[in-house]
Homo-oligomer: A and B are copies of this chain.
Amino acid sequence: MKSSSKIIKSADQGWNGVEPKKYKTEGSNFKSISRYSLLDDETSELNSHTRYFEIEPDGYSSLEMHRHPHSVVVLKGSGSVILDDQISEIDTHDVIYIAPEAIHQFQADRGEILGFLCIVDRYRDKPVIPSDDFIHANIKSEKVLKKIRK
């Protein structure tokens, strides 16, 4: 079915008519994170989906990896991101490219929320949670190993 043009109005919390969803339906390797599906399968013409994730202070996304890349733009607040052997502080409007197979995790570790858009291919592989052995084989930075949260 053909989709019509539409406007999704921003609200004080999230967007009008967009219910925050569970970040993931299984697993427990994340904390205080909500997911807003802004443009998804309902808009059948789109080859990419635009989602918004909001992490409350001290929360974090799961440490994960997958073949599809991520295009990320921080919309609100600040925090940090682990990208393989690097930890970087990220602030509002920073853009992050997460390459295929990069081990990554977002953390709201700076006393603020961290809210970001994450654009992905419509057809994509499922994230994989790396095992401890895999993490230690691929991440050499002690600083990153200490920073990872599970």
Q: Which residues of A contact B (CB under 8 A)?
A: 2-10, 15, 38-39, 43, 45-48, 50, 69, 71, 73-75, 81, 83-84, 86, 88, 90-100, 102, 104, 117, 119, 121
The copy count of this chain in the complex is: 2
In the A-B complex, list the 10 residue pairs whose CB atoms are closest, starting with the nearest: A10-B93, A48-B48, A8-B95, A5-B83, A5-B99, A5-B102, A45-B69, A38-B95, A6-B97, A50-B71
Q: A73-B117, A119-B119 are in contact. Are A45 and B95 (CB under 8 A)?
A: no
A100 CB to nearest B CB, Å: 6
Contact of A3 among B4, B5, B75, B97 (CB under 8 A): B97
CA distance A94 to B6 in the complex (A): 11
Asked whether, in the complex, the Cβ of B97 is within 8 Å of the Cβ of A69, the reply is no
